Structure 1
């Protein structure tokens, strides 16, 4: 039986199945990267709902796992060398799980690094820019009289969608085969046109490849499951 008692987060979210990978998350665009990946891989795991609306990521237990106070985070009881590994940052989790299983990342070194670069592209550009658009379009930022910030993030989000549109020309998936590059972006592109209500703002329906890619991705059973894990109480 795995012993995770050294991780104080388990005092707040006890592990009923400590031999399984532990996921601490919430169904946001970043959170669902980990749950979709785990569902695609079929690894046994135990999800714990960390309610960001109640600021649960800022409690000492969660901060002991991720000092940056953001979901998702994991504990793998069977990490490198058979020792438990705690890990945060959704992109790092994707790469780790892909490397651990040898799946959803190319074996060829060149293609592997190209895949990782697209994950980094999502982390550095897609996530932050789409998130800022959401803030200025739907949330508190919409009350600002100065609309230049919104205009900036709309323009940048459209530019990033065009980057994806070009990349997907002649491809079903970002790397040709479905990979962590796709998983990193599914939740964010979906969120942009649904939860952020920016479909018309970014002229999403003028694109061809990105909408088709999103439809293919959302049709995957593992994606459908992962988008709702952890279940909200």
Structure 2
């Protein structure tokens, strides 16, 4: 059994979807990041960077429990554990990994900043909004070009690269995106969204997440609490 410590965010949904796609049994433990659950000592033991998601697998590679944080690392672990969604040949595997790194180093951080400055920042800073919105559009363009000649992000097979990217694009409206500008990416997005495991994965914990409307939640996520030494 895999214990998943998570919340209904793009990074959380990446792991939820992967678990559903692989058909692995798992238990979900909500980590309400608006309430500060990510700073609890018991969570920090398995996720020292106080970020969701994290997992504990009671049957690790050597038969002993293993805990992991960082969603990309978790996707790689689950792919290795099940032999699914990551090709075996070196050439195909590294083609997938480069797009996984593209998500981890580009799509996630940049779209995250776009969300912050367009939606959550206490004051609208035009320079920041324009910078991150434009970078988001550039990244969408990179993916659209790739999908003009490939069915999936890393080629002709559905992989952890698709699983990693998809949840981040679900908030396309908040990112200032017009799908008409990215027809190949839109076709891919629509196909992925209809996969039964994806539909199940994005519903995990979704009923618990509420809009960030109170000052306490905003402080927990964006204020001084985030930077305290622990």
Q: Is the counterpart of residue 183 in structure 1 residue 163 in structure 2? A: yes
Match of 1:151 among 116, 130, 154: 130
Measure, in 2, the Cα distance between the counterparts of 1:231 and 1:153.
Answer: 26
DSSP-derived class of the 1:74 partner: strand
Q: Is the counterpart of residue 106 in structure 1 residue 87 in structure 2? A: yes
Q: Is the counterpart of residue 224 in structure 1 residue 199 in structure 2? A: yes
- The answer (yes or no) to whether the contact 1:48–1:230 under 8 Å persists in 2 is no
DSSP-derived class of the 1:75 partner: strand
Q: Is the counterpart of residue 37 in structure 1 residue 18 in structure 2? A: yes
* Paired residues, number: 207
Give the alignment's TM-score, normalised by structure 2.
Answer: 0.87
Alignment deviations for residues 171-222 of structure 1 (CA, whole Å, 9 cap, x no partner): 22112110000000111011233xxx23xx2333221111111100110010
Measure, in 1, the Cα distance between the counterparts of 2:8 and 2:177.
Answer: 23
Measure, in 2, the Cα distance between the counterparts of 1:52 and 1:232.
Answer: 14
- Unaligned stretches of 5+ residues in structure 1: 1-19
Deviation at 1:96, TM superposition (A): 0.6
DSSP-derived class of the 1:69 partner: coil
Displaced runs of 4 or more, over 2 A:
201-205, 230-233
Measure, in 2, the Cα distance between the counterparts of 1:227 and 1:157.
Answer: 22
Measure, in 2, the Cα distance between the counterparts of 1:28 and 1:111.
Answer: 29
Measure, in 2, the Cα distance between the counterparts of 1:152 and 1:181.
Answer: 25
Measure, in 2, the Cα distance between the counterparts of 1:64 and 1:205.
Answer: 45
Give the alignment's TM-score, normalised by structure 1.
Answer: 0.86
Which residue is equivalent to 1:209? 184
Q: How well do the aligned residues superpose, as a CA RMSD in angstroms?
A: 1.2
Deviation at 1:47, TM superposition (A): 1.1
- The answer (yes or no) to whether the contact 1:130–1:192 under 8 Å persists in 2 is no
Which residue is equivalent to 2:96? 115
Match of 1:76 among 42, 57, 69: 57
Deviation at 1:109, TM superposition (A): 1.1
Deviation at 1:232, TM superposition (A): 3.9
- Unaligned stretches of 5+ residues in structure 2: 209-230
Which residue is equivalent to 1:15? none
